[in-house]
Structure 1
């Protein structure tokens, strides 16, 4: 299943306006947030989307993956039941392949069976014109929209690009012949492979690897650098490696796939060091690139081939730099490409279009890997902080050294805090712990609001919780920055 080809969707276009104040190319979460806010204040706005309104997250990514990860975690909990005294004998988890089929049905229910009717209806109820088709700039202030049946001209005053991103498939000899899965196929398949090679150790690759391993797939994960590509502290990346290996994932960091060829009913991947891995299915999780081609940007004075890192550059109001009446939100802007970032940028842009000057501050955008337990981070790593010229101090705290850690040592990871010695401000945090994605907001707020280490260290955390360890780490950090 590929979400990027053809014009699809359950609800057809019912109205085609000739002119709107704001036209939005792309109908993902950023566009939904922006368009809903604008229409709620009486602004004429149209969203042009070729595939599913709501973007990838509800249908192929965030929601279906969390369903499968939750079910996979429950299977692991069943396996631990005897170890922690919840059962008088080891419990049988049943057949992993059959459990996967059942979980996939629940997953598809949560993903609305890839039907965006509710999303479309919600926008239209707010007064948004939802146009099913492909839009392209033909001159400033004018879009040509191909609905699949005819072409329509749509005039606009302001144009917002919310076109998202698309998967990058590495140029590895033989890989194309293997018809590799991306996250789309990994989170929509109804049958789990017996064996799987995941290429890429970012958030997507780690989540796919853990979920499938817990359902009984034999998983090998290959990453050319450290897991998470240096976006988290090395200590928490090490904790993540240990976590995945405990689930049976064969994690190989600083390794690269140099070629792929057929092997019986499966595929053999040759690694750069000469080793081989033979699997039923290969999954590519090596990143994404913004969608900027085919939009007619040259008519706005922008050449997609000249864009830095392939994305549009925006200012702190989300306006595209060096372009008039053009805005960009979500993955296409290349800043912390997460759904929550996209939603935030949609809100910022809406405020500016409504005449309420608002600036975006991306310093406290958290990032989370939804493994069990989770890995979350915010701000800069110490390496990034040093490169930025800060006088860096950091502390590492093992959450096993808390009362909660003594109760549940299997889930105890580490917390790394980074601060600037001279300003006494927190610069970054990296955490592996249960519900780390929830807890990281404490540090996101501290970074965003520039709350000093001294005040943070005085915050009282409940006992006995994992967050109790945050207080210990903050006291150490305050001591490290000095009097």
Structure 2
């Protein structure tokens, strides 16, 4: 077995790992990147990117179906599944190839194979083209998470799909049952509904999108009803029957069982951290009871030479969080004083309409000791939203009544995933409600809704009725600076 020596080694080439490897190389470290599958990890290959390619097409189909209301007469759109799959694959291929080019351009050596720790400063990599002992004074583990399976619904790639099969688009089933009403289940379920499938969602908890502002969830549920998507909450998936007439999912609701006939089943009940085969426990890395590796603010584990970033280091399981953590760990290894110091981590859900949030909700703000004040502005009153015929949803901001400090925002509506960036920047800069309210926004645009919501929180809304007892901006800022 040949021995290779580096300054730093990254295991896992997803959004956390490939970014960490690039940053290490930029900082002058001789770096290796170990990956047993494709560069880009789950996100680029069968998660974020391919699902958003399919969602974009589903949105286009939606626009075409509703175009007659705006004077555009077109035939009912038909979907060529093979061409759609080829488009999605080309999107993935381009981005994965781009990652490879960036690694090579930065001087990172990519080792194809599975890595396992044999010492705190060494791993063994086994791949189709060879085996190596790889030594380094520092390692970053970024192996992400894997899909959770549930008894009776084991993935077979034929009748029972994981997200991996769903984004591969083997077909558009006549009736798809989605087990799991979280982010993945609703993103993919609503996509297939817009592509032509009859969709039924089965969720074990009392609410879809658990943890999301219930008012925002209601907007998404309204859209699902309009698309005739059947939703069962507080429902348990009991089993899958395979008969001569096809499949049937047995569920239990309020103590009563019922069967839902279908063609395919998508199981999307979440992800769990994936440290399988790494040998972390053998070298003394501490792993918590839920399977997440314990790290400090520099993403260093209990073994000083080993760092961990991304889904494996703890929630929220977000690609952009993993990338940021990869940069921090790389900079820490290079001797920089980088730590986990962000104010808030934005999140986006690509349902129809989209949902995005950053910072504290009203309830979280109250628990944190603030006296929250809320400002809200509906897209139904926004010129640009009306002009593009996407008026469902709203922007809601949360501030501190005493100081006027902006604490958080929730957006449900058109382009929410893009609009949340302004709120995230405002939070990172320590902005006040007044700061956003006084910033002139181009008209007519969707971001005006954030400005209007902040004005509403201050009691100064122009295009909405004001509610009493809002913080006086001048007095609030003076009090905060005192």
- Whether TM exceeds 0.5 here: the answer is yes
The equivalent of 2:322 in structure 1 is 342
Task: Please report how far the alpha carbon of residue 216 of structure 1 lies from its aligned counterpart in structure 2 after TM superposition.
Answer: 0.8
1:42 and 2:28 correspond: yes
For 1:208 and 1:354, locate their aligned partners in 2 and report how far apart those are by CA, in whole Å. Answer: 40
Aligned partners of 1:210 and 1:371 also within 8 Å: yes
Decide which moves more: 116-125 or 19-28.
Answer: 116-125
Task: Please report how far the alpha carbon of residue 25 of structure 1 lies from its aligned counterpart in structure 2 after TM superposition.
Answer: 1.2
The equivalent of 1:58 in structure 2 is 44
Change (3 A) 1:265 1:176: farther
What do residues 122-173 of structure 1 show as CA deviations (whole Å, max 9, x unaligned)?
Answer: 31332212111111111221112222465421111011111111001123x4
1:482 and 2:468 correspond: no
Aligned partners of 1:233 and 1:416 also within 8 Å: no
1:112 and 2:93 correspond: yes
Task: Please report how far the alpha carbon of residue 239 of structure 1 lies from its aligned counterpart in structure 2 after TM superposition.
Answer: 0.6
Q: Secondary structure at the match of 1:56?
A: helix
Aligned partners of 1:373 and 1:411 also within 8 Å: no
Aligned partners of 1:364 and 1:445 also within 8 Å: no
Task: Please report how far the alpha carbon of residue 258 of structure 1 lies from its aligned counterpart in structure 2 after TM superposition.
Answer: 2.5
1:228 and 2:217 correspond: no
Aligned partners of 1:263 and 1:278 also within 8 Å: no
Aligned partners of 2:355 and 2:417 also within 8 Å: yes
Q: Secondary structure at the match of 1:42?
A: coil
Aligned partners of 1:261 and 1:268 also within 8 Å: yes
For 2:319 and 2:99, locate their aligned partners in 1 and report how far apart those are by CA, in whole Å. Answer: 16
1:138 and 2:118 correspond: yes
Task: Please report how far the alpha carbon of residue 429 of structure 1 lies from its aligned counterpart in structure 2 after TM superposition.
Answer: 1.2
Q: Secondary structure at the match of 1:111?
A: helix
For 1:426 and 1:474, locate their aligned partners in 2 and report how far apart those are by CA, in whole Å. Answer: 9
Task: Please report how far the alpha carbon of residue 422 of structure 1 lies from its aligned counterpart in structure 2 after TM superposition.
Answer: 3.5
Please give the residue correspondences for 1:309-348 in structure 2 after superposition, counting only pairs within 5 Å: 309-320=290-301, 322-348=302-328
Task: Please report how far the alpha carbon of residue 174 of structure 1 lies from its aligned counterpart in structure 2 after TM superposition.
Answer: 5.4
The equivalent of 1:270 in structure 2 is 250
The equivalent of 2:5 in structure 1 is 19
Structure 2 counterpart of 1:297, from 274, 280, 283: 280
The equivalent of 2:480 in structure 1 is none
For 1:126 and 1:175, locate their aligned partners in 2 and report how far apart those are by CA, in whole Å. Answer: 41
Aligned partners of 1:143 and 1:155 also within 8 Å: yes
The equivalent of 2:109 in structure 1 is 129
Structure 2 portions without partners, runs of 5+: 460-468, 473-482
Aligned partners of 1:233 and 1:382 also within 8 Å: no
For 2:240 and 2:321, locate their aligned partners in 1 and report how far apart those are by CA, in whole Å. Answer: 36
For 2:305 and 2:442, locate their aligned partners in 1 and report how far apart those are by CA, in whole Å. Answer: 49
Change (3 A) 1:411 1:117: same
Aligned partners of 1:100 and 1:215 also within 8 Å: no
1:257 and 2:237 correspond: yes
The equivalent of 1:152 in structure 2 is 132
Change (3 A) 1:151 1:407: closer
| Superposed CA RMSD | 2.4
Q: Secondary structure at the match of 1:65?
A: helix
Q: Secondary structure at the match of 1:229?
A: coil
Task: Please report how far the alpha carbon of residue 49 of structure 1 lies from its aligned counterpart in structure 2 after TM superposition.
Answer: 0.8
Aligned residue pairs total 458
Compute the TM-score of the two structures, normalised by the length of structure 1: 0.88
Task: Please report how far the alpha carbon of residue 51 of structure 1 lies from its aligned counterpart in structure 2 after TM superposition.
Answer: 0.7
The equivalent of 1:395 in structure 2 is 375
Structure 1 counterpart of 2:163, from 167, 183, 194: 183
Task: Please report how far the alpha carbon of residue 183 of structure 1 lies from its aligned counterpart in structure 2 after TM superposition.
Answer: 1.0
Aligned partners of 2:61 and 2:77 also within 8 Å: no
Task: Please report how far the alpha carbon of residue 197 of structure 1 lies from its aligned counterpart in structure 2 after TM superposition.
Answer: 0.8
Q: Secondary structure at the match of 1:296?
A: coil
Change (3 A) 1:461 1:139: same
Change (3 A) 1:147 1:406: closer
Please give the residue correspondences for 1:452-463 in structure 2 after superposition, counting only pairs within 5 Å: 452-463=432-443
Task: Please report how far the alpha carbon of residue 431 of structure 1 lies from its aligned counterpart in structure 2 after TM superposition.
Answer: 0.7
Decide which moves more: 262-271 or 70-79.
Answer: 262-271
Change (3 A) 1:181 1:387: farther
For 2:471 and 2:449, locate their aligned partners in 1 and report how far apart those are by CA, in whole Å. Answer: 20
The equivalent of 1:81 in structure 2 is 67
Aligned partners of 2:50 and 2:88 also within 8 Å: yes
Structure 1 portions without partners, runs of 5+: 1-14
The equivalent of 2:80 in structure 1 is 99
For 1:440 and 1:467, locate their aligned partners in 2 and report how far apart those are by CA, in whole Å. Answer: 9
Compute the TM-score of the two structures, normalised by the length of structure 2: 0.88
Aligned partners of 1:461 and 1:467 also within 8 Å: yes
1:451 and 2:431 correspond: yes
What do residues 80-112 of structure 1 show as CA deviations (whole Å, max 9, x unaligned)?
Answer: 11111223xxx32244xx433321121111122
